[in-house]
A and B are shown apart, each in its own frame.
Chain A
Amino acid sequence: MKPQPIQVERLTCERDHRELFAGLSFELAAGEVLQVAGPNGSGKTSLLRILAGLMPPVAGDIRYAGESILSGRGRERWRQDLLYIGHAPAIKGSLTAEENLAWLCALGTPASREQIWAALAQVGLKGFEDVLCHNLSAGQQRRVALARLYLQPPPVWILDEPFTAIDKAGVAALEQHVLAHAAAGGLVVLTTHHSLDHLDAVRCLDLQQVA
């Protein structure tokens, strides 16, 4: 399943009456990885939340397959094709890794127990399937959330700081997974303070320069 092209048109974002960016326009097509960069408070998370459709923009529009994602049929379609993992990764401490993933997958495409175990093994959590998540470290909890990227994910990924608390080997594996997804025709938008300069395929959008 390949994503449709995305057009971001003259997007403006305000937080507490302070303008974070204005007139931001760009286009994304299948096979691209976009890194949103900028210092703290420059509106990276806000941009991702607006893109995901969680937060309405002050002005501007986002089109997916030619239709606005802010309402109606365009929004339905966008939600079907989108996987958003936010700053808070929706992991419940009092559920096990497997239960967390089973529920999060059920919200989109349901996954079987075997698929979940395989995905957990791929993020290095083999043997932790039945451990309550509050007994896992921050990095391990983040890995549980990121295991969703290995479970029949939709074509468009929006990832807010996916590398937080993850060790070097984990980051490298994740980078490869993101690139492989893009190479297979997927589309990834992510923020990270971690440098992705060594990856040629990554486009960078610096919010400080457009502000």
Chain B
Amino acid sequence: MRRIVWLLFCREWRLAWRRPGDLLNPLVFFAIVISLFPLAVGPEPSMLRIMAPGVIWVAALLATLLSLDGLFRSDYEDGSLEQWVLSAHPLTLMVLVKVAHHWLVSGLALVILAPLFGLMLALPPQVLPVLCLTLLLGTPVLSLLGAVGAALTVGLKGGGLLLALLIMPLYIPVLILGTGAMDAALQGLPVMGYALWLGCLAVLALSLAPLAIAAGLRIGVSE
């Protein structure tokens, strides 16, 4: 069991690093969206500070969604998923490893880059740890929920828009909690409540989403 997890992780790692362009896409998207905002609304720090939490969170959300569209597609098209479904190893575990890897190369990179963009949008340095914490708890939820949508739309041609429509409503609680925590931090209020809620969502998604992803992929493969 441990062996298959490790081997799958190595496989995903190799596949990702041999196509570095795909890795960079969501990060570049994130960077472009955030750097365009000050140009469009003006460089007034007080205004940027108010908008910053929303802008960073929306950009992170869209960047995640963008990168998830193709998560299972190539494995579906080249027949790998059939082999996974027929394997004696649990499909839920394999999809969890795949999503975890995806989060490590996209979500975690967003978390690491976010403070830089926070400074660019005139956020005071003392709220940056809150930004990192909420993104650290929120982006795994975004990846896991998005993977459910990616699994359900895997067999569809041009499922990208459908994926967005399916998953966006589920992202809204994460968005509200994430930006809520940032607003509270900016006003000097406690943020623990928001962080705990995000943590709850993360645990819930981590335990239930792999089941839904595996079920979605089984349906996709059986079409």
Chain A residues packing against B (C-beta within 8 Å): 52-56, 76, 79-80, 82, 84, 86-95, 99, 102-104, 106-108, 110, 132
Q: Chain B 16-27, CB within 8 Å of chain A: the 1/0 string?
A: 001100000000
Residue among A82, A91, A92, A104 with most chain B CB within 10 A? A92
| A106 and B3 in contact, given A76-B88, A94-B18 (Cβ under 8 angstroms) | yes
A-B pairs with lowest CB-CB distance, top 9: A88-B79, A107-B87, A90-B79, A94-B18, A90-B80, A90-B83, A55-B222, A86-B79, A106-B7
A-B contact count (CB 8 A): 69
| Cβ A94 vs Cβ B14 within 8 A | yes
Asked if residues A95 and B15 are in contact (CB atoms below 8 Å), the reply is yes
Residues on B facing A (Cβ under 8 Å): 3-4, 7-8, 11, 14-15, 18-19, 74, 77-80, 82-89, 221-223
Chain A CB count within 10 A is highest, among B11, B78, B79, B86, for: B86
What is the distance, in angstroms, from A93's C-beta to the closest C-beta of chain B? 8
* Residues in B neighbouring A56, C-beta threshold 8 A: 222
Among residues of A, the one whose C-beta sits closest to the C-beta of B7 is A106
With A89-B79, A94-B15, A99-B11: A54-B85 Cβ-Cβ less than 8 Å: yes
A88 adjacent to B11 (CB under 8 Å) = no
Minimum Cβ distance to chain A for residue B198 (Å): 35
Q: Out of B14, B15, B77, B222, which one reaches A54, CB within 8 Å?
A: B222
Contact B89 A54 (CB under 8 A): no
Q: Is B82 a contact partner of A90 (Cβ separation < 8 A)?
A: yes
CA gap between A110 and B7 in the complex, in Å: 11
Pick from B4, B221, B222: contact of A106, CB below 8 A: B4
Instruction: Find the B residue at minimum CB distance from A56.
Output: B222
Among residues of B, the one whose C-beta sits closest to the C-beta of A77 is B88
Q: Is the CB of B82 within 8 A of A107?
A: no
A164 to chain B, nearest CB (A): 13
For the A-B complex with A54-B82, A54-B86, A103-B11 known, give 8 more contacts whose Cβ atoms are closer than 8 Å: A55-B222, A79-B88, A84-B83, A84-B86, A91-B78, A94-B18, A94-B19, A106-B3
